[in-house]
Chain A
Amino acid sequence: MMLARVADSLYWIGRYVERAEHMCRLSDVMLNATLDRTDAAAQVTRIVQASVGDPENDHVMTPYQMARSLALNREDAGSITTSLARARENARQVRDQITTETWERLNLIYLRVTGPGATKAFEDGSSNFLNEIIADLHMFKGAADATMSHGEGWGFLLLGMYLERAQLIARLLKVCFADDKQPPVTDHSALTSLLRMSCALEPYLRRYTADIQPKLILEFLMFDEDFPRSLRFTTSRIAEHLSGLSGYVDHSSHSGPERLAGRLKARLQYADVDNLQIADASPMVGTVLDECAAIHSAIYDTFVAYSLEMRLPA
């Protein structure tokens, strides 16, 4: 049993934290890739721009300006600073529900990215700046894992994190392999950058060796059973946490999100991976994005914004 508002806040802490980490990785990979003036640099810039969400951006920015704005611009609803500030604001609202150790990690990151030294730190070494945030976010997740009770609140935190992750990776795949206006990415260094953005380069190499092919990347990021950012892995965690959470709800009212997540998990688990083609990316990634959106609204209908008439005591 926990307050619906609290569950909502924990869910959004998970989402914002995951989003901030992903955006750090996108910025860092982009800045790294655009050090060389190659075709790949332009492609990587396009991938990041499209993933961040404004492909029709009017004012043309250099990759550095883009990364700087993505990192520090508080006006931008999608920036890393905004995500961290919102995660922390949510944490402040449920300060009584998270452990002091967990709170301190998040508060520390927030104080650093919003502090007076943040702009200078970014300008002195963007890669360092971004990677420190990633490392700190890992510490936040570690502290939460090690000190919070793995009960209902924990379930909502991780649900938010995995749902956000599934959507971010699906979006990245859509931009790379299923964009209506662009051919699928084939350039070797652009593909390597894609793997880096998904934090997948080393696990991929171990699985497939240095044979970097679009089809194998799609296979890995969609269907790998063990890689924590693959769509199969994340949807399977979503289903797991939802079935854990539904244990707390009356059985009449929880079928929504749990059923949707179970179905999506099964789709990815039993897909025909052997005959996978790049052309399959579009319908499959589309399904994942639609289903994730449906799961999100079902979570709200079931746990947070349910109608009172249904729940009043008889």
Chain B
Amino acid sequence: MGYRVAIAGRSNADSTPLPYDEMLTAEGVVRPHYSALDQRVAALGDQELADRQRTLERFFLLQGITFTVYGGESSTERIIPTDLLPRIIPAEEWAVVEAGLTQRLRALNMFLADIYGAQQILMDGVVPRELVLSAPSYRREMQNLFVPHKAYANVCGSDLIRQPDGAFAVLEDNLRVPSGVSYMLANREASKRTFPGTFRLAGVRAIDRYPDMLLSTLKGMAADWRPNPQVVVLTPGVYNSAYYEHAYLARLMGAPLVEGRDLVVHDNMVYMRTTTGLRRIDVIYRRVDDDFIDPLTFRRDSSLGVAGLFNAYRAGNVVICNAPGTGVADDKAVYAYVPEIIKYYLGEDAILPNIETYLCREPAQLSHVLANLDKLVVKAVGASGGYGMLIGPHASAKERSDFAEAIKADPANYIAQPTIQLSTAPCLIDGAIDARHVDLRPFILSGEKIVVTPGALTRVALKKGSLVVNSSQGGGSKDTWILGAEEPRP
């Protein structure tokens, strides 16, 4: 098998450890939970796999699972690149991930409730006051505002990576408007068609209840004061790159998909314009960023939101999910303090470790960062999606010195991390199986209680050797099989 040769033939020129491979051990032996898939893939052969890959891409195209690429006069629609070979995670590894994510989100929700309430953690000096209150994602307007169940981040999509020793670590928490869950569900439908037999025998945990779990989480946010709350999904519109997902979730929840122009605020109540007149709304699952939800409170030039929405929220007549201002807890600088935050609120050690992070705002750490730019990854605190970052080892001397100037000009805006190693997984690339770097984005719901969906989006860096998995920069995705704890079916 080519894959085995490729993995066994890896060498490390410097002293950095080799990446963990999801399928093969360092000795080139197939891990037990991958053996059935490995045999099936070998039996099918490259030709048949390529045919099935085409069938899968066709399925995505017909379903309209596409994003629009704008350029010049015409815009074209492309499918999100998707790989047919699933990534498999055994039950005992998932149990750790699940416990770790639950713990982390519990602590982060408590942190948000505290920051937007008494600010005890700032008074106790666990997290620097200035770092939190000066973060662009901190929303003064949220101060002392009632949030049901203190559940600020109702939908969370954390990015995990697997380190060379095989342990998962958290790279980033996404508490604002995380996306990708529709690809998780679509990938699952596709892999059931591609490997039905292997899938059935493996005992994969089902994820198809996600939409109704999401709906009951959202309804739970208003159920105490409105018996049968009207839930809607708020989208920026059909030109947004995640529009497919917004429509998909609305359809599967049976909730109307609304745009800002469909909504009206009157007497601090939110209504939607229907064919039969105005109808009151109780819960808004918004897929629009904080800045754009209400031109009266946030950005004035936004036409995506609804004038007066925030006041209606403040008056307690509507619930916005996720709450505005959750971004302060996934800020890249606050990230460095998450282990202390967990310890502070829960008295526990973090189950899932952080990646070591240097804060350029601290003079000692800044000089370390500037001295080691060739070994570090530097990120702008406010940016996301793989933009505004420097990957030291892959950058030219010029790029590094330019970036150093930018850091010196505004140190508080930058953090640095050691070059992380993402694990690799077998992917079908140009008709042959090859190793590509992957990360893991599970989805966690929090309302009355916290639920980790037993599945995830595995994002793939399709360029050989690349560590950038973002779909805006040439990343793809694949299905993720979380195996059940019980023995697989015979």
Whether A1 contacts B276 by the Cβ 8 Å rule is: yes
Q: CB-CB < 8 A to A2: which residues of B? A: 256, 274-275
Q: A104-B63, A303-B275 are in contact. Are A89 and B238 (CB under 8 A)?
A: yes
Can you add 8 more A-B contacts, CB < 8 Å, to A7-B275, A93-B237, A312-B266?
A: A2-B256, A3-B256, A6-B256, A95-B247, A96-B251, A103-B63, A103-B64, A156-B275
Q: Which of A41-49, A217-225, A245-253 contacts B (4 or more CB under 8 A)?
A: A245-253
Which residues of A (235-282) have their CB < 8 Å from a CB of B?
245, 248-250
Give 7 A-B contacts (CB < 8 Å), ordered by A residue: A1-B279, A4-B274, A95-B244, A96-B247, A96-B251, A308-B278, A311-B277
Whether A249 contacts B62 by the Cβ 8 Å rule is: no
Q: Does A108 contact B (CB under 8 A)?
A: yes
Would you list the 5 A-B pairs with minimal beta carbon distance, nearest first? A96-B251, A95-B247, A96-B250, A311-B277, A303-B275
Chain B positions 48 through 79: 1 when the CB is less than 8 Å from some CB of chain A, otherwise 0: 00000000000001111000000000000000
Whether A250 contacts B276 by the Cβ 8 Å rule is: yes
Whether A5 contacts B278 by the Cβ 8 Å rule is: no
Q: CB-CB < 8 A to B258: which residues of A? A: 3
Whether B61 contacts A111 by the Cβ 8 Å rule is: yes
Q: A3-B262, A5-B261, A95-B247 are in contact. Are A152 and B275 (CB under 8 A)?
A: yes
Q: How far is the CA of A156 from the CA of B275 in the complex (A)?
A: 10
CB B55 to nearest CB in A, in angstroms, measures 15
Q: How far is the CA of A116 from the CA of B276 in the complex (A)?
A: 43
Chain B residues at the A interface, C-beta cutoff of 8 Å? 61-64, 237-238, 243-244, 247-248, 250-251, 256-259, 261-262, 264, 266, 269, 272-279
Q: CB-CB < 8 A to A156: which residues of B? A: 275
Whether A4 contacts B64 by the Cβ 8 Å rule is: no
Whether A4 contacts B273 by the Cβ 8 Å rule is: yes
CB B56 to nearest CB in A, in angstroms, measures 16
Q: How far is the CA of A248 from the CA of B243 in the complex (A)?
A: 29
Q: How far is the CA of A312 from the CA of B278 in the complex (A)?
A: 7
Chain A positions 1 through 35: 1 when the CB is less than 8 Å from some CB of chain B, otherwise 0: 11111110000000000000000000000000000
How many residues on A have C-beta within 8 angstroms of the other chain's C-beta atoms? 33
Whether A249 contacts B63 by the Cβ 8 Å rule is: no
Q: CB-CB < 8 A to B64: which residues of A? A: 92, 95, 103, 107
Q: CB-CB < 8 A to B262: which residues of A? A: 3-5
Which residues of A (94-115) have their CB < 8 Å from a CB of B?
94-97, 100, 103-104, 107-108, 111
Q: CB-CB < 8 A to A52: which residues of B? A: none
Q: Does A313 contact B (CB under 8 A)?
A: yes
Whether A3 contacts B276 by the Cβ 8 Å rule is: no
Partner of B62, one of A108, A152, A312: A108
Whether A5 contacts B273 by the Cβ 8 Å rule is: yes
Partner of B257, one of A7, A96, A100, A313: A96
Output the nearest chain A residue to B64 by Cβ-Cβ distance.
Answer: A107
Whether A93 contacts B274 by the Cβ 8 Å rule is: no
Q: A5-B262, A311-B278 are in contact. Are A104 and B273 (CB under 8 A)?
A: no
Partner of A245, one of B247, B259, B274, B275: B275
Whether B247 contacts A3 by the Cβ 8 Å rule is: no
Whether B276 contacts A248 by the Cβ 8 Å rule is: yes
Q: CB-CB < 8 A to A201: which residues of B? A: none
Q: CB-CB < 8 A to B274: which residues of A? A: 1-4
Q: CB-CB < 8 A to A312: which residues of B? A: 266, 278
B interface secondary structure, majority:
mixed
CB B266 to nearest CB in A, in angstroms, measures 6
Output the nearest chain B residue to A7 by Cβ-Cβ distance.
Answer: B275
Whether B278 contacts A248 by the Cβ 8 Å rule is: no
Partner of B275, one of A100, A103, A249: A249
Q: How far is the CA of A58 from the CA of B95 in the complex (A)?
A: 73
Whether B275 contacts A4 by the Cβ 8 Å rule is: yes
Output the nearest chain B residue to A249 by Cβ-Cβ distance.
Answer: B276
Q: CB-CB < 8 A to A6: which residues of B? A: 256
Output the nearest chain A residue to B257 by Cβ-Cβ distance.
Answer: A96
CB B216 to nearest CB in A, in angstroms, measures 19
Q: How far is the CA of A93 from the CA of B278 in the complex (A)?
A: 20
Q: A3-B256, A96-B250, A308-B264 are in contact. Are A107 and B275 (CB under 8 A)?
A: no
Output the nearest chain A residue to B259 by Cβ-Cβ distance.
Answer: A5
CB B305 to nearest CB in A, in angstroms, measures 16
CB B75 to nearest CB in A, in angstroms, measures 11
Q: Does A148 contact B (CB under 8 A)?
A: no
CB A115 to nearest CB in B, in angstroms, measures 10
Q: Does A304 contact B (CB under 8 A)?
A: yes
Which residues of A (38-78) have their CB < 8 Å from a CB of B?
none
Q: How far is the CA of A303 from the CA of B275 in the complex (A)?
A: 5
Most A C-beta atoms less than 10 A away, residue of B248, B258, B273, B274: B274
Whether A250 contacts B277 by the Cβ 8 Å rule is: yes
Q: CB-CB < 8 A to A1: which residues of B? A: 274-276, 279
Q: How far is the CA of A7 from the CA of B277 in the complex (A)?
A: 12
Q: CB-CB < 8 A to B250: which residues of A? A: 96
Q: CB-CB < 8 A to A4: which residues of B? A: 262, 273-275
Q: How far is the CA of A107 from the CA of B244 in the complex (A)?
A: 14
Q: CB-CB < 8 A to A248: which residues of B? A: 275-276
Q: CB-CB < 8 A to B276: which residues of A? A: 1, 248-250
Q: CB-CB < 8 A to B277: which residues of A? A: 249-250, 306, 311
Q: How far is the CA of A50 from the CA of B272 in the complex (A)?
A: 42
Q: CB-CB < 8 A to A107: which residues of B? A: 62-64
CB B183 to nearest CB in A, in angstroms, measures 16
Q: CB-CB < 8 A to B238: which residues of A? A: 89, 92-93
CB A208 to nearest CB in B, in angstroms, measures 42
Most A C-beta atoms less than 10 A away, residue of B244, B273, B278: B273
CB B60 to nearest CB in A, in angstroms, measures 11
Output the nearest chain B residue to A89 by Cβ-Cβ distance.
Answer: B238
CB B218 to nearest CB in A, in angstroms, measures 15
CB A36 to nearest CB in B, in angstroms, measures 39
CB A248 to nearest CB in B, in angstroms, measures 5
Output the nearest chain B residue to A302 by Cβ-Cβ distance.
Answer: B275
Q: CB-CB < 8 A to A313: which residues of B? A: 266, 269, 278
Q: CB-CB < 8 A to B278: which residues of A? A: 308, 311-313
Most A C-beta atoms less than 10 A away, residue of B259, B266, B277: B277
Output the nearest chain A residue to B230 by Cβ-Cβ distance.
Answer: A1
Q: CB-CB < 8 A to B269: which residues of A? A: 313
Whether B63 contacts A100 by the Cβ 8 Å rule is: yes
Q: CB-CB < 8 A to A311: which residues of B? A: 277-278
Whether B272 contacts A3 by the Cβ 8 Å rule is: yes
Whether B61 contacts A95 by the Cβ 8 Å rule is: no
CB B402 to nearest CB in A, in angstroms, measures 41
Q: How far is the CA of A4 from the CA of B238 in the complex (A)?
A: 16
Q: CB-CB < 8 A to B62: which residues of A? A: 104, 107-108, 111
